[in-house]
Chains A and B, each alone.
Chain A
Amino acid sequence: MSCEKMSCENKPRGNDPGVTGAGLAGQDGADDLPKGHDYLFGLGSPHGGDRLGWLAAEWLGDALGERDDITVARLDQPVDLFLHPVTPRDRLLLVDAMRGQGPPGTLKVFAPGELPEAAARLSSHGLDLASTLALVEALGLFRAGIRIIGIEMPDPDMTTPKLDEAQARRLHEAVLGWLDGG
């Protein structure tokens, strides 16, 4: 992938709420299928709090650059994941900004059925996350597992959202756990 490098702040900011929600490893399962490829997509846009998903993808793309078992990319819209040659054997991890789930920087893991309704249906442009995941299910893709990591957005008046070191570390650990968790 070709992501711009992001800068992590050296000092952890705020509290460190840890990772909560659905487990990342040992998920859903498609035991009848050989192992496929892993996809990690950061959802968002270049500006505002919504930028967190892209920042995460950029940082994780660099951190996981040596691994050839995962594709990391930024997406403007969830539906763009279909541009990739995804199969039923693959696993999907989406990273997106979220609001209302804890202090800024909180990481929370969701299974598709656990997404808050308001978040899953939030889109001004045709195909929201819930609709995309419904199509993924109907098409039988990513049967090896789907998880969504939400990163709580900073206050709206914070003009340049960043991942601080503690958040980046926790995100990296969570993703490594997902990658190697089977």
Chain B
Amino acid sequence: MSHDTRTGEIHVPILARVEGEGALDIRIEAGRIEALTLRIFEPPRLFEKLLEGRSTQDVIDSVARICGICPVAYQMSAVVAIESILGVTPSPWVEAMRRVMYCGEWLQSHSLHIHLLAAPDFLGYDSAPAMARDYPEEVRRGLRLQGLGNEIIRTFGGRSVHPVGICPGGFFRAPDAATLQALRQRLAAGLEEARALIAWTAELPLPEDDQAFVSVSLRHPCDYPITVGRIVSDQGLDIDPADFEQHFSEFQVPHSTALHAQLDGHPYLVGPLARLNNNLDRLPDDLRQLLDDGGVHFPSRNMFHSIVARAVEMHVALGEALRLTEDYDPAAEPHVEAPPRAGVGVGCTEAPRGILWHRYALDDEARVVEARIVPPTSQNQARMEEDLAASLTRFGLERDDDALRLHGEMVIRNYDPCISCATHFLDFNVLRKNVLRK
């Protein structure tokens, strides 16, 4: 068959090593991709509707259930929105410790993705256990760092899965100094391991695949953005999170139970690579030097450099957690009172997979009248489809179905999509010359 006349369809019915369930369908006509759909068929979870009528604490505890990997992100965006309505300003201690807790989530989520989901792709293994037999020290390092992230979350949230420590105005309790001191010793050891991890990811045989895309993230006046900031892009966008709806639109497509999103009518990227592209100057000097020495240069247009960006952010998370707990003193009052008040408020924080935007309207008793949640995976869906079309074309549509399916899965996994958040993932189907293959 001639490469430029190839016709058919490819279907990937189940995508492995992503959080959730979805599928990929491609129709190739005369050697070109005529249609490509990333199908997300996990049933809608209807969380926004379920939140109506609930109290603010119920919201914070409920939204943690949206995701087992990034519950802290959901809690943080929610609590920021709620506090803005209630007129509550958390103490500097609360703001610092929330950032530490969030660092725990970045650490565990990024380490899980690097070692168990993405790295096997680049090293040619079909699973993390298969890779672990040949890279035992690297995998154990990753598991330690993941566990350390869980430990940070547990320290502030009572447990690492769906934590319960956050309330409007702060935390229910402050960890004692001895607990933090023991944690800090592990953080210091982890920081060294994160340096080695950056070097390891930078040496992985990552595909060269530069593309044009818009990077969207938060930006903070001085810190690497995590819990607060303006929404910016590398194309000049610079807005208050309250103005999100004026620039970003969500819409339904027939093939997905998760909404798609566009910025001023175009797909865009959120997540570690976008954050790093937009915030290189917010990295500590020693980390920027480490990156410069590593051979991978940012800002990067190669989506596969996301794995390096995740490793960098793990170092950021550990460094920040150490910095912010250096003179740790448990707060006598870990939260301020938050009396009920009606109003509308938004919260936007940097979940491991990108900006997570929440908007709530509360009544006089501070019960939810209306809720809107825009998760990162929904925002990245259109970008993933755009990337798949470009990457698979560059990879070579003349290749056999298995090769295309594997490459497609690798492209998608690279975004670390959390389909459970956006509504779980991948079924791959190719049809050539009207023959359906699975």
Contact = CB atoms under 8 A, between A and B. Distances in A.
A79 B116 CA distance: 12
Contact of B112 (A83, A126, A137, A140): A126
Contact of B161 (A82, A125, A131, A134): A125
Contacts of B140: 82, 139
Given A82-B147, A139-B139, 20 more contacts: A46-B158, A76-B159, A76-B160, A76-B161, A79-B143, A83-B148, A83-B151, A123-B68, A126-B19, A126-B68, A131-B128, A131-B129, A134-B127, A135-B129, A135-B132, A135-B139, A138-B130, A138-B139, A139-B133, A140-B136
A125 B129 contact: no
A137 B147 CA distance: 18
A159 interface: no
Contacts of A83: 144, 147-148, 151
Contacts of A126: 19, 68-69, 112, 116
B129 A77 contact: no
Contacts of B420: 124
A76 B154 contact: yes
Interface of B: 19, 68-69, 112, 116, 127-130, 132-133, 136, 139-140, 143-144, 146-148, 150-151, 154, 158-161, 420
B161 A124 contact: yes
Which size bracket describes the interface of A in this complex?
20 to 34
Contacts of B69: 125-126
Tell me what chain B mostly uses at the interface: helix, strand, loop, or mixed.
helix
B154 to A, nearest CB: 6
Contacts of A138: 128-130, 132-133, 136, 139
A82 B147 CA distance: 7
14 contacts: A76-B160, A76-B161, A77-B161, A80-B150, A123-B68, A124-B68, A125-B161, A126-B19, A126-B68, A127-B116, A131-B128, A135-B128, A135-B129, A138-B130
Contact of A77 (B127, B130, B150): B150
Interface string A112-153: 000000000001111100010011011110000000000000
A46 B172 CA distance: 16
B112 A127 contact: yes
A134 B143 CA distance: 13
